[in-house]
Amino acid sequence: MPTLHTYDYAVIRVVPRVEREEFINVGVIVSCPGARHLEAAIEIDPVRLHAFAPALDQEALQPWLDAIVAICRGDASAGPIAQLPARARFHFLTAKRSSVVQMSSTHVGRTADPAGVVEHLMTRMVRVPE
């Protein structure tokens, strides 16, 4: 029987008008300390995002989303936060913010395949069902 690891995840959201608290899901972050796995995945549907927030500058948004992925990977180009331990990076990224890019509350689960969880959550929480 495969070893099950506890993981935490949060959904990455774009909140164009923070005061309205309306959002569109664009990605997920999964932290699985037992498997030493921290990963962020982001997929933006530009047509859907434009329909939701026509005034939003999607080009200006992209570097912020790219930074989330870089911090999760521990890329030196992402600055000193990316050099922290994986768990500290996860908590930094999922902290509550009043900004255009926000995270959901964190949720917990168990899995033998953390990378598979990322794909599952992207399908369930981010991608539009066909």
What CA–CA distance (Å, rounded) separates 104 from 107?
A: 9
Q: What is the pLDDT of residues 53-96, one digit of tens each?
A: 999 999 999 999 999 999 999 999 999 999 999 999 999 999 99
Q: What is the pLDDT of residue 112?
A: 96
Q: Residues for the chain: how many in total?
A: 130
Read off the tokens for 14.
């774009």
Report whether pLDDT(31) > 90.
yes
Largest CA distance in the chain: 51
Neighbouring CB atoms inside 10 A of 15's CB total 19
Residue keyed to tokens 């959904």: 11
Q: How high is the pLDDT of residue 2?
A: 83
pLDDT score of 129 more than 90 = no
* pLDDT digits 0-9 by tens, 89-123: 999 999 999 999 999 999 999 999 999 999 999 99
